[in-house]
Structure 1
Amino acid sequence: MADAGRLTQATGMRAPAIGPVTLVRLAIIAAILVGWEALAQSGLLYRDVVPSLLAIGKAIVGLLTDPDYYWHLGVTAYEVGAALLIGGISAIVVGLILGGNKFLSRAYEPYLYYLGPTPKIIFFPIMIMWFGVGPPSKIALGVLSCFFPIALSVAAGMRQIEPVLIRVGKSFRANSWQMAIKVYLPAMRHPIINGIRLGLGVGLIGTLLAETKLSNRGIGFLIIQAYSLFDMPRMYAMLIVLFVLAIGANALIGRLGGLDQIKRF
């Protein structure tokens, strides 16, 4: 500590202080952990329904050292990535069309608002009939899940573009493709990234739900398998790891788009 103090004085740099927001975050996390452990030790629920933090920690270690887990994780990552790629590209195209054409927007955009909140899992039997019981049906459900938030975000972003940017593009006689690449997409970077972040969340949910319903691979399959065997520590461990990975992917997308709002502790 003395060396750190001398180094601070020598360099003239002050060590970053922990702000009140960080303290509140740490307090919330600590309260959740303490409350969880208290509930686990209270015996109010059946044994292992709320396992202790030690049991969950051991399950996380066992999970991360299991090579089979990473194979299932790769399956889910492939399905979610393919769904986000296909659904994202198609949603951006649809959003550009609807956002740039008032007639098509008034005619078709209400359907996006009506179908967007609909639980996509109800379409899973159709996906199975069309694409089979393998990964393609999970990818299709993920595409259907992530399409709507991205398309609506892009369409809204199109209407917020400064008219002067459009006039400049047209003054250079840019065609539709050049306008989309050089003007529309750069000007809508924030709405697109926000839409992709929302699409990632719902696409992940849709894919995992599909894996829990009918699959023999993927994280969703492992979660429902642990639930069926009443291996609660392993189930909670997979949920925690998945939660951390989802946060990391979301933060990475935001950072790549220059929208990362997560403050460092």
Structure 2
Amino acid sequence: MTSARNNLLVILALIALWQLAYWAIGDLALRPPLDTLRKAAALIASEGFTAHLAETMRAFALALGIAVVVGVGLGFCLGMSRLAGEVGEPLLVSFYSLPKITLYPIVLLIFGIGMPSKIAFGALHGIMPIAIFTLGALRNLPPVLGRTSRALRLSRWQSAWTVLLPAARPEIFTGLRLGFSLTLIGTLLGEMFASQRGIGFLLMQAIGLHDTDLIMALTLLIVAFAITASMALLAVDKRLRHGAA
């Protein structure tokens, strides 16, 4: 109950700051919260928006699925071998710190313009943080779990699935939360620069036309979705950590 109240207070404070910023800047670059909310509602009800939304959500869902499977799998492959982890972790961190937008021309050359490139670029953003958190989670596990697996004569992958994954799940899920946000960013960026459908495409089109009302409405919808999903994932994360404690 307290957490919900705090979240509500934060949202109200952000809306108040938004209104103050509008009074300070004016119509040059902002719209007031109420006008933006009305525009967003009209946009949702407009013909054709559903198709753009479905395109973005489909690309994001596929990109997130790939990021989770590849990120967790890569993290386990490196985390279950000390030598592989010591060699692979610096490479993961270096690639994670690299601005992904510099790789977008290569993604376009490989996958072309359209859905495949959006999915690939979104997954590219999410794989690294998930892999890094998975690797860190396995490193932080108590050594007794490895001895237990050997005592039970479990194979490497039986140990990973039945012993290590349940024990490392809370910390891995933290990486999934970060990967969720970055995958969403990557998918939208992919739509902005090389797509003719989707929320990112609408946003880029609005920027080109200097349609401030549409820019603000789309931004509000994206932020609302991201915040709602983040709060839900954070609640699951807290429950996992509470259960593991």
Question: What is the TM-score when the length of structure 1 is the normalising length?
Answer: 0.82
Root mean square deviation of aligned Cα: 2.4
Q: Could you tell me which runs of 5 or more consecutive residues in structure 1 were left unpaired when the two chains were aligned.
A: 1-15
Q: Does 1:215 align with 2:163?
A: no
Question: Match of 2:208?
Answer: 228
Structure 1: distance between partners of 2:189 and 2:215: 15
1:190-209 correspondence runs (5 A): 190-209=170-189
For 2:124 and 2:93, locate their aligned partners in 1 and report how far apart those are by CA, in whole Å: 14
**Is contact 2:30-2:216 (8 Å) kept?**
no
Work out the CA distance in 2 between the residues paired with 1:24 and 1:194. Answer: 19
Aligned to 2:18: 36
* Equivalent residue number for residue 71 of structure 1: 51
Report the alpha carbon displacement of residue 50 of structure 1 after superposing the two structures with TM. 1.2
Give yes or no for the alignment of 1:241 onto 2:232.
Answer: no
Tell me by how many angstroms 1:166 deviates.
Answer: 2.1
Question: What's the % identity of the aligned pairs?
Answer: 32
Equivalent position to 2:162, from 182, 195, 203? 182
Determine if contact 1:149/1:198 at 8 Å carries over to the other structure. Answer: yes
Check conservation: 1:96, 1:158, Cα contact below 8 A: yes
Q: 1:25 to 1:258 in 2, by over 3 A?
A: closer
Q: Name the residue aligned to 1:101.
A: 81
TM-score by length of 2: 0.88
Query: d(CA) in 1 for partners of 2:111 and 2:15?
Result: 43
* Aligned residue number for residue 10 of structure 1: none
Q: 1:172 to 1:211 in 2, by over 3 A?
A: same
Q: CA deviation at 1:237?
A: 1.4
Equivalent-residue separation in structure 2 for 1:171 and 1:178 (angstroms): 13
For 2:205, give the aligned amino acid.
Answer: Q
Structure 2: tracts of 5 or more residues without a match: none
Structure 2 residue aligned with 1:152: 132
Number of residue pairs the alignment of both structures matches:
241
- 1:231–1:197 CA distance, 2 compared to 1 (3 A): same
Do the aligned partners of 1:131 and 1:137 also contact (CA within 8 Å) in 2?
yes
